[in-house]
Each structure stands twice: as structure tokens, then as C-alpha cells.
Chains A and B, each alone.
Chain A
């Protein structure tokens, strides 16, 4: 009896629940919103939500509002596979955005490819991701480009002759970027004095930095995320290491200067856009992000925003929102002004944009030079 009653009640409440309106366009996002990588997934999600709010405020796409379907992966590749399948085959999203980590993008991309749903990875730098197929795009640099940019800057602009590398062995991003930097730097004629690895979760780098100090490099290349770089910078300065640090776009966060303070002064990193960039899109994005989330955006937030922007731009141009047409429209993206610079999608479906080198000076990143692709 009680079971019947309860079943009836459940049924009634379910019936009473508002039916979802059909005049929206659904897009999917999968990211690590909880767990040890949560910082990254949440930044991306914040940026993406901002882009959606903007496009909806402007009347949506052809009069239809964008609806975001977002799932958490906990940073687990199995969950990534399951939720992408779900986005493609159950929620019937027209496009998928995600993931930050290349390893999870590689788990999701084949599924999008199979189901003919375009996917834009905001920040998976592993070249293999877009090689999966013609439905897979990305909004960020690939490792070889960024490694080359850093190597070139170190050799040509700064005339550094020797470099040490300190990388996170467990992060594909870190391993890939370190490899490409080493290739580029050695090709220019530089020497890698020492290569030190750390592992997921390490916070005390003193022993590794002491070993690096012993080889007296001109520059220390640290291809990691700002979460680790801040500690590395502080500890390097404590050891009296004068050599500047050099890194990639994983550094980009206001948190870096906030955490590392003086220790990070005089270090360089490559990024998508300079904070001094006068472009109204970029400045507007930073202001809005700050307003909404109470903190300035990091690179992942900006890339999440741009992924959304690229997608909506393509939606406006696409013949239909069919997977094939949409993918074709995304592939035609050319000179698109995003928050991370002027983006063109090349024939390998990678975003091509110029990189800037920033120096951390007076507690904020400042423009040094720009490198064309």
C-alpha cells in the first residue's frame, strides 16, 4: 500500500515537473568539475557559461537560446567516455566542448567522431587529439608550436645558451611541452643542462631545484600549471637561483602572481593574449569574468570562453546545425577575434594564433614580444 502511494506520488511530481522547452539549442560540456583537477574544469566551465550568457542575451542563435548540458568527469577517463556517449546519444547535443586534459579528450573524441558530433577541446595541447577525425577541433596551441615559441624566445631574444627543465611526469601537457621545447632549443644550438621530473602531488621541489642550481643554467623551463609553478618559483628564489623561469600558457592565472609574489618577478611565459591587449573583446571578457566570479580569469577560463565563441560563430554561419554542416562551419573559422587572440582553424583543425611572450613584472604579466605562427 505504502509503496503504491509512494509510486503514485513520485509519478505525480514527475508529471508536474515543467516540461523542457524545445526551442533551445543544446551544447554539451564535459570537464573535471570535482576531484583533484577541479580547478581546471571549473575555470573552463565558468568561461563557457559566460559565452553562453552573452549569446543568449543577444537573442541566441537564430532566435533559439543556447542550453548547456554539463557533466563532471572527476578527471577519470572512464567517466569521460560515458558522459560523452551520453551527450551525443542521449542528450543529443549539437556540439561538445571539452576536456582540459588531453588524456580525457582522447577518451571522448573518438565517441564524438563516431556519432558525428563536432567537439572543440578548449585546451588539450596533444597533437593527437585532433588527429582522431574531422569532427574534432581545438581552441588552443599545440605542443610543438608552443615549445618552439619558448625555445625561440629563449635562444634568440634572450640569448640563453643553457636551460634546465623541470617537468611534471604525470601530466601529458607538461611532458609534451618539455619534449618540444627541448627539441627546439637544442636545434637552435642550446644545451639542456639537466632534466628533473616531479610527480603528481609533489609540493617540495627543494631537492630537485638544488640539483638544477648545481648546473647553473641560464633559464629553467617549467612547463606546468600555475598551481605548481608558484611553489617552484618560491622555492627557487629561496635557494638563491637567479635564473628566470620560463613556461607555457598553463601559467596564465592572476593567482600565479598573487601566490608567488616577488619570487616570480622576471620570469617569462608564452600565452595567447597579453593582458594589455586593448581589444574590447578581451578586456570585456576579463571585466565580465571578474564581475561574475569575483576573480580574474586564467587561461583555461579564456579558452573555455573562446571555445564557446568559436562554436556560436560557426553556428551562425552553418547551413544547419547538423554535425557535418557545423563541423564544416567550424573548420572555416578564419580571423575570428576571441579573448585569446585572432583565431584561424587550420586544415588540421587546430587553432592557429600568434603567441605572445609575457614577462611577470611589478606583480602582473607584461607584454614582451609576439611570435607569429
Chain B
């Protein structure tokens, strides 16, 4: 079965049309940075940037797990590689150039240029690592690959633990012996710290936009369709002349590149990096987002990244809405009552249950925080059982009925239909 979303469109965008999306992204990045950020709480800003990073992680992993149907459990390794590379470059270059790793004021300056270069370098090094991991995927399939990639994450963690001590001044860098520079001075388990805090709304939006546009274009390109063909049926794809080997490796390279960029954004947001950042948990989080969103669906991965990141923050709140929202969602998913009266009763029962649970928790002196991960795990299992194809399945947001109607009403499409008629 071919992917619905991969149906050829009636008209390919012209090269000029292709610039529209990047232009929108850049404009949006400016607006978010200059208009929205000043009126946003720091906390919401931080969560928003976390959401951005999560989107890049999920959408990039989607290229491997969703498009190509390969099974990677080591995405955090690329994240860490990219993060450490970029942070290493920007930190040491900042010290060499300006004697201090502190972040400079303003959006565009020499340091942000350095940051951009470092980020791309981080992406490239991660991509190289992706190529390395992609190689065994030629021979391995399914769960074997999952274990190898998972092992890769652990190997990266151990290697990062073997790095040298961080050097914190120009003089020390100059005086450093070669043995202090190799393995690179990234401070092992003690955390690589004082990374310039450059990541902001502008950069996050820009990178998220770049990642989304790339993923979108890739999905609609010959490349992407061939990848989806591999997912649907490897043997058939090969028979149709798809170069499986090459495409699988490319999928890893693309995914790793953007994971590296996410790592760089994260490093320049959180002031520090530690080897634990390449741990299993982060990889698993990304896989959950991809599956929850729907394999191969960019909109799904994006939505899942948003929901999970915000949901994780929501679950912290002891007296928050989640007491109401979560059971409601669960009940809604289970019963899905068509009848309005039944639905109303369902909501009421859910509210009662939620209120009961809350009262019980308060009465028993239970800290709801203790149950955060349990609720998360339960939600995960329920979601997988009740909606196995994820939020979007393999579709995209443009395939939703309302959106399709809107798109079909567009003049260009109308004209196209007229021409055909």
C-alpha cells in the first residue's frame, strides 16, 4: 500500500514558490524573537524552546523510523555528538576570540555567526556519525538495528566520559599539552559548562523551520518516496530499482544531521552538557513522539512533540487542570460516545473520577508528583492500544478533510482542475 500523502501533487512548486516557505520561516522567526518573546514568561519561553528542540528530534528521527521504516533507538547519541561538537567550538572559539565564553548582547553579532557555524559543524559531525551507524543497517533489519543503535548511544556516553578536563582560559589552552587536547577537553562526567547561552526564539524557529521544510520536501521528493517504498516493502522497492543501501544510509545521515543541530540548540540553551545527555531515555522519548504522531507523518511527529513536552510539564502541577483533562481524554478515547447525552454523562463521570482521585490524593497526603511517571507510562500504553496508528496515521495535516477542502478551493488548484477537464 502506498502512502496516501505521497500521492503525486498536480503541480510541482516552481523555484520561486519554493522560497515562500523559507521566507515565512525567517519572518516568523523575527516576529517570535522581537514581538512574542518580550511578552512571554521565561518559563513558557523555555518550554517553547524545549518544544522546538523536541520537534527537531522527532521530525528528524521520523526520517529513519517513519519514512524508511528502519528502527533507530540511538537518536540521543547524535544529539549529544552534535551538541558537544557545537558547544566545544563555540566555547573555545569564544575564549580565543573574546577571552570569555559569555554570550554577547543582540541577535546578530560575530558570536551568533560563530554559533551558526558551530551548529552546522555539529550537525555535520553528527551526520558523519550517522553515516557510520547507517552502515550496519545495510545488513541488519528491525530489532537488531534497534539494539545496535541503542548500543551506539551507550558507546558515545562512555567515550564522552573519557574526555579531558575543560580548559577555562586562553593561557591554559595555549599551555595545554597534546595529551590534554586529545581526547578533546570536554570535561567528562563533570559536565561541560559555561557554554554561551545563545539559543533564543529566533534560532529555534529558524532551525525548526529548516527541519520541517527539509522533511516536507524530502517526503515529496524522489528520494523520500523511495524511502517510503522501502518502508512499505523492501523487496518490492528493490525490484523497482530503488537503491536500498544508499537510501538507508542517507536516511541516517539526514536524521543525524538535524539531531546534531537540536543538540547544539540544547547545549546553547542549557549552559551545560553531560554525557548522560546521550542516554537511552532521550532516544526513547524521540521514538515515542514519532510513534505517537504516526509513522512517517511530519505533522504527527510535530504535534506529538508539542503534546508530550507540554504534557510532561503539565503533569508536574499538583493542582492543575490535568486532574480533569487527563481522565477526560482517556475516557473520551475509550468510549467515544456518539450520542450527546452519553457524552455528557461520560464527561460528568470523568470529572467525578478526577475529583475523587484528587480528593483521595489530598486526603492520603500523596504528592501527585510521585505518580507523574506512572501516569505517563499508563497513558503511553493506553494510547498504543487505543490508537495504534498514532495521532495522524501516515497522513499529514493537509490531508485532514477541512484542510483538503480549503486547499481544493484555492484558485490555482481550481484552474488546474479546469485545465484537466
Mark A residues whose CB is within 8 Å of B.
1-2, 5-6, 9-10, 13-14, 17, 33-35, 70-72, 74-79, 81-83, 85-86, 88-90, 102-103, 106-107, 110-111, 115, 126, 128, 169-172, 174-176, 199
Interface size on B, residues (CB 8 A): 49
* Shortest Cβ distance from residue A112 to the other chain B in the assembled complex, whole angstroms: 11
Chain B stretch 317-366: residues in CB contact (< 8 A) with chain A: 319, 321, 324, 328, 340, 343-344, 346-348, 351, 355
- Cβ contacts under 8 Å, A170 to chain B: 157, 161, 189, 275-276
Proximity string of chain B (355-392) to chain A, C-beta cutoff 8 Å, 1 when within and 0 when not: 10000000000010110110000000000000000000
A79 to B285, CA, bound (A): 13
Given that A71-B369, A81-B270 are contacting pairs, would A169 and B189 also be in contact in the complex, using a CB cutoff of 8 Å?
A: yes
A169 to B43, CA, bound (A): 33
5 closest residue pairs by CB, A with B: A89-B42, A2-B343, A6-B347, A103-B274, A103-B191
A128 to B344, CA, bound (A): 57
Q: Residue B158 at the A interface, CB < 8 A?
A: yes
- Cβ contacts under 8 Å, B104 to chain A: none
- Cβ contacts under 8 Å, A88 to chain B: 42-43
Q: Per a CB cutoff under 8 Å, which of A35, A81, A126 touches B269?
A: A81
**Interface SS majority for chain B:** helix
- Cβ contacts under 8 Å, B42 to chain A: 85, 88-90, 115
Contact A34 B277 (CB under 8 A): no
The residue on B at minimum CB distance from A199 is B158
Contact A172 B41 (CB under 8 A): no
Contact B197 A110 (CB under 8 A): yes
Contact A82 B46 (CB under 8 A): yes
Given that A128-B193, A169-B189 are contacting pairs, would A2 and B344 also be in contact in the complex, using a CB cutoff of 8 Å?
A: yes
Q: Per a CB cutoff under 8 Å, which of B189, B344, B348, B373 touches A74?
A: B373
* Shortest Cβ distance from residue B270 to the other chain A in the assembled complex, whole angstroms: 5
Contact B270 A77 (CB under 8 A): yes
A81 to B191, CA, bound (A): 14
A74 to B189, CA, bound (A): 17
* Shortest Cβ distance from residue B183 to the other chain A in the assembled complex, whole angstroms: 13
Residue contacts A-B, CB under 8 angstroms, 18 given: A13-B324, A17-B319, A71-B316, A71-B369, A74-B373, A77-B274, A78-B50, A82-B313, A83-B316, A86-B43, A86-B313, A89-B41, A102-B191, A169-B161, A169-B189, A170-B189, A170-B275, A175-B189
- Cβ contacts under 8 Å, A33 to chain B: 369-370
Contact B281 A76 (CB under 8 A): yes
- Cβ contacts under 8 Å, B266 to chain A: 78
A204 to B37, CA, bound (A): 51
- Cβ contacts under 8 Å, B276 to chain A: 75-77, 103, 170
A106 to B277, CA, bound (A): 14
The residue on A at minimum CB distance from B45 is A85
- Cβ contacts under 8 Å, B269 to chain A: 81
Contact B191 A106 (CB under 8 A): yes
Contact B190 A6 (CB under 8 A): no
A77 to B50, CA, bound (A): 12
* Shortest Cβ distance from residue B285 to the other chain A in the assembled complex, whole angstroms: 10
Contact A34 B50 (CB under 8 A): no
- Cβ contacts under 8 Å, A83 to chain B: 316
Q: Residue B25 at the A interface, CB < 8 A?
A: no
Mark B residues whose CB is within 8 Å of A.
41-44, 46-47, 50, 157-158, 161-162, 188-191, 193, 197, 266, 269-277, 281-282, 312-313, 316, 319, 321, 324, 328, 340, 343-344, 346-348, 351, 355, 367, 369-370, 372-373
Q: Per a CB cutoff under 8 Å, which of B43, B347, B355 touches A90?
A: B43
* Shortest Cβ distance from residue A286 to the other chain B in the assembled complex, whole angstroms: 23
* Shortest Cβ distance from residue A178 to the other chain B in the assembled complex, whole angstroms: 11
Known: A13-B355, A106-B193, A175-B188. 4 other contacts (CB 8 A): A10-B324, A74-B281, A170-B161, A199-B158
Q: Per a CB cutoff under 8 Å, which of B190, B272, B312, B343 touches A175?
A: B190
Given that A72-B372, A172-B191 are contacting pairs, would A13 and B351 also be in contact in the complex, using a CB cutoff of 8 Å?
A: yes
Best-buried of A71, A78, A79, A88 by chain B (most CB within 10 Å): A78
* Shortest Cβ distance from residue A313 to the other chain B in the assembled complex, whole angstroms: 26
A219 to B127, CA, bound (A): 47
- Cβ contacts under 8 Å, B324 to chain A: 10, 13
A327 to B409, CA, bound (A): 63
The residue on B at minimum CB distance from A110 is B271
Given that A6-B347, A10-B324, A89-B43 are contacting pairs, would A34 and B193 also be in contact in the complex, using a CB cutoff of 8 Å?
A: no
A220 to B347, CA, bound (A): 63
Contact B340 A106 (CB under 8 A): no
A42 to B272, CA, bound (A): 24
* Shortest Cβ distance from residue A4 to the other chain B in the assembled complex, whole angstroms: 10
Contact B47 A82 (CB under 8 A): yes
- Cβ contacts under 8 Å, B343 to chain A: 2
Given that A13-B355, A72-B316, A77-B277 are contacting pairs, would A2 and B347 also be in contact in the complex, using a CB cutoff of 8 Å?
A: yes
A106 to B187, CA, bound (A): 13
* Shortest Cβ distance from residue B190 to the other chain A in the assembled complex, whole angstroms: 4
- Cβ contacts under 8 Å, A79 to chain B: 312
A1 to B343, CA, bound (A): 9
Given that A10-B321, A89-B42, A103-B191 are contacting pairs, would A34 and B197 also be in contact in the complex, using a CB cutoff of 8 Å?
A: no
A35 to B43, CA, bound (A): 23
* Shortest Cβ distance from residue B153 to the other chain A in the assembled complex, whole angstroms: 13
